[in-house]
Amino acid sequence: PHNSFMLQVLCRYRHIWNIDLRFRPAFLGGIMQQTGNKPPAMLPKRGEYMLKDMKRMAKYYQVPVHMSADDFKRIIGTSSLTAMRFITAVDMTNPQYLEPLSREFWMRFWSQHEDISQPEDILAVARQAGVSAELSQKALEMISSPTVKDRLKETTAEALKHGAFGMPAVVAHYDGKPHLFFGSDRLELLGSVIGEKWLGPVPS
């Protein structure tokens, strides 16, 4: 859910901070494996804390997240690789749908607690995001192609190169160099680095 907090708030700040916001689909499983990282909820005490913290953050960021201990098991047991390849295929063919598609995948998985791993789930998400049946089918057919697989590997490798070890990861290109920020609670710091003022999670 931290990805969505970051996504929603950066979208809210896009014009306030005058930033060129680009979504880069990367595979979290690959990042975790390459860096030896583990899901936070695998540590029981941290899992307990995260459940409480999610409620506070959902209220603060005004993003609809509802989580229980059972959801952690569901999340760890669900592969997002097919969904990420589909998002990558859409990014390569119709990038204008990348943002709404990312939001809809998030809503289905985190807020509605529905599956995102099967082709019929992916097509349902695409339909909700306004992607035509024709474009969705084309993207679905592309997910097993070397072109899409390589593109997802490339963006994942790029995230690792910038120092990512989990998600959400934001790379701000400012003053001639990249700055990595990890976690949805680093937005105020991001603003500070790029010389912009933090106006809270829902700037008016």
The 10s digit of each residue's pLDDT in 68-99 is 777 777 777 778 899 999 999 999 999 999 99
User: Measuring CA to CA, which residue among 133, 41, 42, 126 is closest to residue 82?
Assistant: 126
Q: How confident is the model at residue 140 (pLDDT cuts 50, 70, 90)?
A: very high
**Residue 84 counted as domain residue:** yes
Domain coverage including residue 178: 1-194
Specify the pLDDT at position 154: 98
User: Any idea of the CA torsion for 5, 7, 12, 14, to the nearest 10 degrees?
Assistant: 150
56: pLDDT strictly greater than 90: yes
Cβ(38)–Cβ(47) under 8 Å? no
**Residue 204 counted as domain residue:** no
**Residue 19 counted as domain residue:** yes
Which residues fall within 8 angstroms of residue 167, CB to CB, at 6 or more apart?
A: 2, 3, 26, 28, 31
**Residue 11 counted as domain residue:** yes
**Residue 164 counted as domain residue:** yes
**Residue 85 counted as domain residue:** yes
The CATH number linked to 151 is 3.40.30.10
Specify the pLDDT at position 111: 80
Specify the pLDDT at position 150: 98
Specify the pLDDT at position 138: 97
Domain count, the chain: 1
Q: What is the pTM of this model?
A: 0.90
Specify the pLDDT at position 40: 83
**Residue 200 counted as domain residue:** no
CA–CA dist 153, 13 (Å, integer): 29
**Residue 202 counted as domain residue:** no
